[in-house]
Chain A
């Protein structure tokens, strides 16, 4: 029983991280119709920024989180300008596929660049907070996990306010839902695009910093997150914000349960088998809509 609760707690925390991480994918897909394979790289870069500030320069962990968010947002904008923007509006290419490949290659380039700058070795980073909180019996939760949950909720909450109340946020959602009408309202598509990518970068960066104490800061730190992010996105339905949150927690819980009861080596193949099943049975995910196609 207590193992179960421990697993559930772990699953919820991971779910929260996945939600933030995948939200970037969701926003970019909804708005730019791009499956941003560099999303994992955003987290990876965020981790490095946090590492530089905290472990190297001795700043407090919160500063690392902020630095990671900002650095990753910058990388998001960079990604947009070198791999997505050149493709927008062109009639001679299939945009979705080309952008997919483009961002995939950019992700590889980011990893390679990081190796050039920092070397290939893993770097350790301290968690935001230390220590554990005992709940009952053998069930405990680390303060880090609590911190993660808190950060995640703040992020998601902030995002919701941004998207639903602010002018810029509404314009992102409007562009995602009905591109032509948004233009008719005077929304500058170009600006919405890079703002969305910056936002995706920030979210990815935060997720990366939260994951860094667990998975180390390394050039390949983005590989796993993008794979998991894809799983969540597929289950959610590409572009669905609500779906992303549900799917993130579902996946987090499944992963935690599989890791606890079957073995952590199997969690990833099972997740991917899940993608396969979903794509066959319900390709638009839980909440995705076929009419998302912009014809």
Chain B
């Protein structure tokens, strides 16, 4: 962090703007205003609706990113949470005749509540078990809705007839209104997540993810922190669900199916886990890809899947990781002419990556149960020899030199992608 203050003195304003360690409020506002003009000049309703969908996905992936990217909890129930938000909103409108705006609040709350319920039991479980548990929860929800023959939730055919937020406008203007609304909301969410990631709370979460021992040492209650983060993620997810159900005037249980979940996973992973830009990039990339292959639905699935596999194999940090590397090079190039004594590129590298990118959450946590050929044998021998003063004297006294804490995955904020 002291690097950052050095940087502000030594670097040009341009480099500072590019550094995302500060919440980029102004750039975002600029982008939002610019993008907001699009529906005014563009007549094509189809594409506006597509972009709105992308923005909706952005909100969903951002919310999911909080649980995965920051807490390291692979919550595979995220779609169910979003759907529950949607169903809540929808049911409030359809059954109770509530105004969709009010019902949206209900959806938000439903999202937050269901997220906490779903994640709570899985906090103390190890990675794969935690995700299986959330997956099971989600499936229970989905299957119960499908099995529902009372007509309350509409069963397998879904809940139709949900009033939209802007139904009092003409369809064309309603669409545009939705566009603007989701644009603003997704911008706000993005800024919020960015803020959260760089706040003490957010960085605390990331360190908790990496090492439970740290949390005990710092007196942070790990569970409370995770629950709070999950609640926030759920609230946002509920919002996305509510927006979805009012936008499409309905929702069905297939929304929670394996296909959409796969798509969401691909978006988050391809975009870049654990970052702020990642979900946006991923949502954009995957949806556009879908569009290109719109006519050949099945090929789309195969291509999307192949994309994920390729990304995992070669660029696990996702598009954002590639972007990050590119930007780093760009900054380095731009700083060459500034005549920095020891600072230049070094400082440029130091500033941005650390806060914004707490490390891809697909990356190894402190304990890595992987069938790696280089796995440690009966780890009495830590990776680094205990270079202690008087090592022999210690041996003389029958003391075993303490093993260094094993952190084979490297520290958080490992910038080398």
Report yes or no: A87 in contact with B147, Cβ–Cβ below 8 A: no
B312 touches A294 (CB 8 A): no
* Interface check A189, CB cutoff 8 A: yes
Known interface pairs A108-B301, A109-B301; A279-B312 also in contact (CB < 8 Å): no
Query: Closest B-chain residue to A112, C-beta based?
Result: B301
B343 CB to nearest chain A CB (Å): 28
Contact B306 A109 (CB under 8 A): yes
A89 to B265, CA, bound (A): 23
Q: Which residues on B sit within 8 Å (CB–CB) of A94? A: 127, 361-365, 368
A35 proximal to B (CB < 8 A): yes
User: Out of A104, A238, A269, which one reaches B144, CB within 8 Å?
Assistant: A269
Q: Tell me how far the C-beta of B26 lies from the nearest C-beta in chain A, rounded to whole angstroms.
A: 34
- With a cutoff of 8 Å between Cβ atoms, the chain A residues found around residue B133 in the complex are 275-276, 279-280, 283
Considering only residues 140-195 of chain A, those with a C-beta below 8 Å from chain B are: 175, 179-180, 183, 189, 193
Q: Say if the beta carbon of A5 comes within 8 Å of chain B.
A: no
Bound-state CA distance A272–B367 (Å) is 29
In whole angstroms, what is the CA distance A283 to B370 when docked? 20
Count residues on chain B whose CB falls below 8 Å from chain A CBs. 62
For A77-102 the 0/1 string (1 means CB < 8 A from B) is 00000110011111111111110111
Q: Is the CB of B143 within 8 A of A268?
A: yes
Q: Provide the residues of chain B in CB contact with A35, threshold 8 Å.
A: 128, 132
B128 and A96 contact, CB distance less than 8 A: yes
Minimum CB–CB distance from A262 to chain B (whole Å) comes to 11
Judged by a CB distance under 8 angstroms, whether B121 is at the interface is yes
Query: In the complex, which residues of chain B have a beta carbon less than 8 angstroms from the beta carbon of A111?
Result: 301
Stretch in contact with the other chain, from B102-110, B322-330, B371-379, B384-392? B371-379
* Complex Cα gap A101–B311 (Å): 12
Number of A-B contacts (CB under 8 A): 181
Cα–Cα, bound, A272→B371 (Å): 29
**Inter-chain contact B309/A93, CB cutoff 8 Å:** no
Closest chain-B Cβ to A41's Cβ sits at a distance in Å of 11
Contacting residues, chain B, for A275 (C-beta < 8 A) = 132-133, 136
Q: Which residue from chain A places its CB closest to the CB of B120 in the assembled complex?
A: A280
CB distance from B68 to the nearest CB of A (A): 9
- Given A88-B370, A272-B139, A276-B140, decide whether A104 and B265 contact each other with a Cβ distance below 8 A: yes
Shortest distance from the beta carbon of B414 to any chain A beta carbon, whole Å: 8
Contacts of B298 in A (CB 8 A): 112-113, 115-116
Using CB atoms, name the residue of chain B closest to A83: B309
- B97 within 8 Å of A by Cβ? no
Q: Is A16 an interface residue (CB 8 A)?
A: no
Asked if A57 CB lies within 8 Å of chain B CBs, one says no
Determine the chain A residues whose CB is within 8 A of the CB of B301 once the complex forms. Answer: 108-109, 111-112
Complex alpha-carbon distance, A178 and B125, angstroms: 23
Q: Which residues of A contact B146 (CB under 8 A)?
A: 265
A222-247 vs B, CB cutoff 8 Å, 1 = contact: the mask equals 01000100100010001000000000
> How far is B146's CA from A83's CA once the two chains are assembled, in angstroms?
32
Within 305-344 of B, Cβ neighbours of A (below 8 Å) are at: 305-306, 308-309, 312-313, 316
Which A residues are CB-close (under 8 A) to B316?
Answer: 90, 92-93, 98
Q: Does A273 sit within 8 A of B, measured CB to CB? A: yes
The answer to whether A294 touches B371 (Cβ under 8 A) is yes
The distance from the CB of B201 to the nearest CB of chain A, in whole angstroms, is: 23
Chain B's interface: helix, strand, loop or mixed, by majority?
Answer: helix
Do B375 and A180 have beta carbons less than 8 Å apart? Answer: yes
Other-chain contact of A93, B143, B363, B373 (Cβ < 8 Å): B363
Q: Mark B237-273, 1 if CB is under 8 A from A, else 0.
A: 0000000000000000000001100100110010000
Taking CB atoms and an 8 Å cut-off, the chain A residues in 110-142 that contact chain B are 111-113, 115-116
Complex contact B369–A294 (CB within 8 A): yes
Q: A95-B369, A97-B127, A294-B375 are in contact. Are A265 and B312 (CB under 8 A)?
A: no
Taken together as a complex, chains A and B put the C-alpha atoms of A279 and B365 apart, in Å, by 22
Candidates B265, B306, B360; contact of A101 at CB < 8 Å: B265
CB nearest neighbor in B for A264: B147
Taking a contact as CB atoms closer than 8 A, the residue among B132, B374, B379 that contacts A230 in the complex is B132
Q: Taking CB as reference atom, which chain A residue is nearest B410?
A: A91
Q: In the complex, are the beta carbons of A279 and B122 less than 8 A apart?
A: yes
If A223-B258, A294-B369, A295-B369 touch, whether A105 touches B305 (CB-CB below 8 Å) is yes
Check B131 for interface membership: any CB of A closer than 8 A: yes
Across the interface, which residues of B come within 8 angstroms of A115, CB to CB?
298
What is the CA–CA distance of A294 and B131 in the complex, to the nearest angstrom? 18
Query: Do A92 and B363 touch across chains, with their CB atoms under 8 A apart?
Result: yes
Instruction: Report the separation of the CA atoms of residues A269 and B262 in the bound assembly, to the nearest whole angstrom.
Output: 21
CA distance A189 to B371 in the complex (A): 9
Q: Which residues of B contact A109 (CB under 8 A)?
A: 301-302, 305-306
Q: In the docked arrangement, what's the CA distance between A268 and B140, Å?
A: 8
User: A266 in the interface, Cβ–Cβ < 8 Å?
Assistant: yes
B408 within 8 A of A: yes
Proximity bits, B110-153, A CB within 8 Å = 1, else 0: 00000000000110011111011101110110011011010000
Whether A112 lies near B302 (C-beta < 8 A) is yes
Q: Is A105 a contact partner of B140 (Cβ separation < 8 A)? A: no
Specify which chain B residues have a CB less than 8 angstroms from the CB of A268 in the assembled complex: 139, 143, 147
Is the C-beta of A197 less than 8 angstroms from some C-beta in chain B?
no
Would A266 and B147 count as touching, CB distance under 8 A?
Answer: yes
Shortest beta-carbon distance from B298 to chain A in Å: 4
CB of B47 within 8 A of chain A? no
Known contacts A33-B369, A183-B373, A272-B139; A97 and B308 CB within 8 A of each other: no
A295 to B121, CA, bound (A): 23
Q: Could you pull out 16 A-B pairs where Cβ atoms are within 8 angstroms?
A: A32-B371, A91-B368, A93-B363, A94-B362, A94-B368, A95-B369, A101-B269, A104-B258, A113-B298, A116-B302, A180-B378, A265-B146, A265-B147, A268-B147, A275-B133, A280-B133
- B residues contacting A by CB (< 8 A) are 74, 121-122, 125-129, 131-133, 135-137, 139-140, 143-144, 146-147, 149, 258-259, 262, 265-266, 269, 298-302, 304-306, 308-309, 312-313, 316, 360-365, 367-379, 408-410
Further 9 A-B residue pairs, CB within 8 A, beyond A90-B372, A116-B302: A93-B362, A95-B370, A97-B131, A105-B266, A108-B259, A112-B298, A112-B305, A193-B371, A269-B147
4 cross-chain pairs, A with B, having the tightest CB-CB distances, nearest first: A95-B370, A112-B301, A109-B305, A275-B136
